[in-house]
Amino acid sequence: MSGFIVMERDALDHPLLKDGERFRAFFWLVAKACWKPTPYDISGKVISLERGQLCASRAQLAEAWGWSPSAVERFLTRLETEQMIGRATGQGKTIITICNYAKYQDVETKAGQAAGQETGQRPDSDRTTKEQGNKGTRDIPSAKADGRDDAPPPLALDFAATIFRTGLTILMDAGHKEQPARSIIGRWKKNYHESVVIAVLARCQKHTPENPVEWITAGLKAEAERAAGRVSFHQGSAPERPSTKQIGFEVAERRRQRRLDQEQHQQRIAIGER
């Protein structure tokens, strides 16, 4: 694979990519994505990978990055939650779509438009030099005049799949078995709007509480109360939305109180045995 890719400097400041290993992994995804429609064989079935897409298994990514499969899954889930990638899974492989791939990779078209505005036309020698020096990208379709290109849009986010992938990652990392974890996530999904569940799960990943089930449940209830208050705003003042810090404090306080109750209970038993 030859040629070059383009990444914005702002990527270095993205909270998810400040860690060097994560930045390297995301750079790897962008570098491995197809720069034009490409046939790809999956177990004897040929599919077409569109521009900005790549196909890989979790095990392949783990080997390429030197990570554990669970670490790979957590990182891909975070990228998906941040809407930096889209995913579609089948036959043991995952098709990953880099969101906004065409927007950042069409540098030659943008450079040509800028040069045309300054000089009236683009010099043939300059065009020839660019084609020779960047043969890896010279056949990429140019953008249309209205700013769009022929590349398909990124995969639409499957909210249900995102909720279960993210939730399973959080709960299983905390020690929950898969089936009970799925039941818990199913209740969240049933009782609250999908976008709310995704937002609270994302905050939970950021804060990594000791008891994620309590933390997420409290966060969802707070969001529901806030939404109910917004609906009845004209009938009275809406309740103040608790901050993430407040929610975490309440959960920690309840946990501390339970420990105190348990210690007092054990002390009473010990006194009775005397």
> What's the CA gap between 68 and 268, in Å, rounded?
47
- Taking residues 199-212, report their average pLDDT: 87
215 is in which domain, residue-wise? 159-273
Residue 46 is given by DSSP the state E
142 contact partners, CB below 8 Å, separation of at least 6: 106, 108, 109, 149
Verify that 24 and 87 share a domain, yes or no.
yes
Quote the pLDDT of residue 223.
84
Verify that 87 and 141 share a domain, yes or no.
yes
Amino acid at 4: F
φ, ψ for residue 192 (rounded to 5)? -135, 155
Q: 136 and 1 in contact (C-beta within 8 Å)?
A: yes
* Band of residue 91 on the pLDDT scale cut at 50, 70, 90: low
Lowest pLDDT segment from 73-87, 122-136, 222-236, 256-270? 122-136
φ/ψ region of 7 (left if φ > 0, alpha if ψ in -120 to 50, else beta) reads beta
132, 155, 178 - which closes a domain = 155
Verify that 221 and 143 share a domain, yes or no.
no
Helices (H), 155-239: 159-173, 178-191, 194-207, 212-231
Q: 84 and 99 in contact (C-beta within 8 Å)?
A: yes
Domains of the chain: total: 2
Verify that 142 and 260 share a domain, yes or no.
no
Verify that 75 and 184 share a domain, yes or no.
no
Closest of 166, 158, 241, 243 to residue 198, by C-alpha: 166
pLDDT digits 0-9 by tens, 171-195: 988 899 989 999 999 999 899 888 7
Quote the pLDDT of residue 60.
92
Is pLDDT above 60 for 150?
no
Verify that 114 and 180 share a domain, yes or no.
no
Is pLDDT above 60 for 25?
yes
Is pLDDT above 50 for 239?
no
Quote the pLDDT of residue 100.
81
Helix 178-191 and helix 212-231: axis angle, to 10°?
A: 10
106, 130, 155 - which closes a domain = 155
Verify that 182 and 118 share a domain, yes or no.
no
Verify that 214 and 145 share a domain, yes or no.
no
> What's the CA gap between 46 and 39, in Å, rounded?
6
pTM of this prediction exceeds 0.85 = no
Which tokens go with 19?
């860690």
Q: Which residue has the higher pLDDT, 274 or 197?
A: 197
Query: In the chain, pLDDT over 70 holds for what percent of residues?
Result: 62
Quote the pLDDT of residue 5.
63
111, 127, 155 - which closes a domain = 155
Verify that 24 and 144 share a domain, yes or no.
yes
Quote the pLDDT of residue 214.
94
Return the exposure string of 203-218: e unless at least 16 CB atoms fall within 10 Å of the residue's CB, then b.
bbbeeebeebbbbbbb
Verify that 69 and 12 share a domain, yes or no.
yes
* CATH number where 82 lies: 1.10.10.10
pLDDT digits 0-9 by tens, 45-69: 888 888 889 999 989 999 999 999 9
Verify that 129 and 163 share a domain, yes or no.
no
pLDDT digits 0-9 by tens, 151-169: 444 444 467 777 888 888 8
Q: 188 and 216 in contact (C-beta within 8 Å)?
A: yes
Verify that 7 and 130 share a domain, yes or no.
yes
* Band of residue 234 on the pLDDT scale cut at 50, 70, 90: very low
